[in-house]
Structure 1
Amino acid sequence: MGKLEKLEELNISKTAIEEIPPWIGSMKSLISLDISGCKKLRVLPKEIGKLEELKELNIDNTATEEIPPDIESMPELPSAISKLFVHGCNKLKELPNLSSPKLLSQLNIKNCRELTEINGLEALKFLVHLSVLGSKKLSKFDGLEHAESLRYLNMSSSLVNDDLVRGLDRLKNLEELDVSGCENLIRPDISQLTHLKRLDAYHCHNIVEIKGLERLKTLEFLIIQSCTSIETLPDLSCFNNLTYLEILGCSKLRDVQGLEKVGYVLK
């Protein structure tokens, strides 16, 4: 297969392959590599970093009871890569530095339970979509404030706190923010995210207040569910574009004003 120099897409997902041979580096035209569901795969060869045309890499080792994922490290990423999916790598403690693949536009990380930080975010000027789900040890997003093109940010079930959210005030183009399951949030201030259209907050049990919410004049979707400590919301009549509001399981929330101005309400 190493002689297939013109091959553009390689999908070996859900196979019992245990290693990727060094010949992968000879596939100079490879654009997409899918190795999701390869639960016996232990090592990713450094030759992957030589794939100069590689734009999409999908690594989904979602764990099962029978075969836990084994990937503990990743090689340096190709500079042309634009989409990276890393799921279920429970032993992965860090990603390769992201300062090299500067064209990365989508980074999707899910259930990497040992991941503690992501390095190189400050170089990702073209990052549009960042999703980090279920990485409960992840507390550092250093440099994220420089991702000026970011439109979608999902930090569910990570160690996000009020200070980290406050540091996102430079993300003027952010349109969607999901902080569901972030137990360290108490009074997050999102007043500077003036282009935000959607805010999701599920199971943020310690949130008492969302500061600056009334300043988000572009907000269209607001979902607050099972936030059992939240006590107040601003007068909803200040949101000219709010068309969907969902408030469920917020037992301390009382006297929400302006409900009649919202297009669709589920309470």
Structure 2
Amino acid sequence: MFHYQVDERIKTRKFARTCISNYHHLGFLNLSYSGFEELPSSICNLKQLRSLLLLDNKQLKKLPHTICELQSLLELDVSGCSELGELPKNMNRLVSLKFLYLTTKQKSLQESGIQYLESIHFLGFKACENLQMLFEGTCQLTRLRKLEIINCGRLLSVPFGELISLEVLLIQNSPLMSISEKKGGFPSRLRVLSIVNCEQVGELLHSLDESTRTLESFCVYDCPSFTAIPDWLPNRTRLKEIRLIRCPNLRFMPQGIRSLPVLKELRIEHCGELSSRCKPQTGKDWHKIAHIPRIQVDLINIQWTDV
């Protein structure tokens, strides 16, 4: 490992080739913040490699197809590689891969084979500015537990087939309007939903309606277009946490919040009229939330008991 402040002129392609050729038993290789355009094809010689970190390589344009020969690889991170073009087409050969974080200039990932990574647990997309489509047709990401989509400005939908194990979904600064072609068909085991700066938050939440029976944490941040808490939220009997942060046009708290049996924490911050309505004793919505053990409004702990 090298601290990120090491001059990128030191971590060149020649340096990477030297590491690969001299240390065949490497299990962990961090070449983040480096200064080369292409990873040496000899990377395939590191048969025992478990983790390969290449994040924030601003000059990296290509991954060699030989990277798909790393059968023991568990973690691959190329997030922040803003010049990275097409991914190798046989990434489905990374049969042990559990963690994959991507930045790419591609419009579609259909040809990459990522949709066939049956072992993957975490999948993230960051600053994929051209990305319009992930996959079509068959999807075998049946063990995927966490999905992050951050700063993907052209991606409008995620038409996954069966993400039967998905538990955590983060959508940030992306114009997603739906996460499924069929309402109520995805995802069936979702526990944590976090939406940040999403203009189409209403449409997105509507598409989730019947797919959130297992929801435990509901968080919305920086969404001025978020004007009403979805009707289905008070019916989520496993809900433990609600965070509504900097959503200035939220108007009121739904009556059904009173019936959530395990809700332990409510945080409201700079939510305009809603913040005023949730003030203790005098707020019009206080009677709806007074039973919640932990309540914070505009960074002030209104009540905060051990649970």
Scaled by the length of structure 1, the TM-score of the pair is 0.81
Structure 1 gaps of 5+ residues are 1-10, 63-68
Structure with higher RCO (Cα < 8 A, 6+ apart): 1
Distance between the aligned counterparts of 2:232 and 2:135, measured in 1?
Answer: 34
Larger radius of gyration: 2
The reply to whether residue 218 of structure 1 matches residue 219 of structure 2 is no
Distance between the aligned counterparts of 1:213 and 1:88, measured in 2?
Answer: 33
Q: 1:203 is matched with which residue?
A: 197
Q: 1:134 is matched with which residue?
A: 127
What is the one-letter code of the residue matched to 2:216?
A: E
Q: Secondary structure at the match of 1:21?
A: helix
Q: 1:103 is matched with which residue?
A: 96
Shift of 1:23: 7.1
The structure in which a higher percent of residues are helix is 2
Distance between the aligned counterparts of 1:100 and 1:188, measured in 2?
Answer: 27
Q: 1:114 is matched with which residue?
A: 105
Q: Secondary structure at the match of 2:48?
A: coil
Distance between the aligned counterparts of 2:161 and 2:218, measured in 1?
Answer: 19
Q: Residue by residue, what CA displacement relative to the aligned partner does 1:103-155 show, whole Å, maximum 9, x if unpaired? A: 1110022xx36344431113200000011122222223226831100000001
Structure 2 gaps of 5+ residues are 269-307
Are the structure 2 counterparts of residues 90 and 235 from structure 1 closer, same or farther at C-alpha, using a change threshold of 3 Å?
Answer: closer
CA RMSD, Structure 1 to Structure 2 (Å): 2.5
Are the structure 2 counterparts of residues 225 and 99 from structure 1 closer, same or farther at C-alpha, using a change threshold of 3 Å?
Answer: same
Q: Secondary structure at the match of 1:60?
A: coil
**Count of aligned pairs between the two proteins:** 244
What is the one-letter code of the residue matched to 1:223?
A: C
Are the structure 2 counterparts of residues 116 and 93 from structure 1 closer, same or farther at C-alpha, using a change threshold of 3 Å?
Answer: farther
Q: 1:58 is matched with which residue?
A: 53
Q: Residue by residue, what CA displacement relative to the aligned partner does 1:217-264 show, whole Å, maximum 9, x if unpaired? A: 211111112223334412433111111111234345444422333321
Are the structure 2 counterparts of residues 188 and 230 from structure 1 closer, same or farther at C-alpha, using a change threshold of 3 Å?
Answer: farther
Shift of 1:188: 4.8
Work out whether residues 240 and 265 of structure 2, in 8 Å CA contact, stay in contact via their aligned partners in 1: yes
Shift of 1:201: 0.7
Percent of aligned pairs sharing the same letter: 20
Work out whether residues 214 and 239 of structure 1, in 8 Å CA contact, stay in contact via their aligned partners in 2: no
Are the structure 2 counterparts of residues 186 and 254 from structure 1 closer, same or farther at C-alpha, using a change threshold of 3 Å?
Answer: farther
Q: 1:179 is matched with which residue?
A: 171
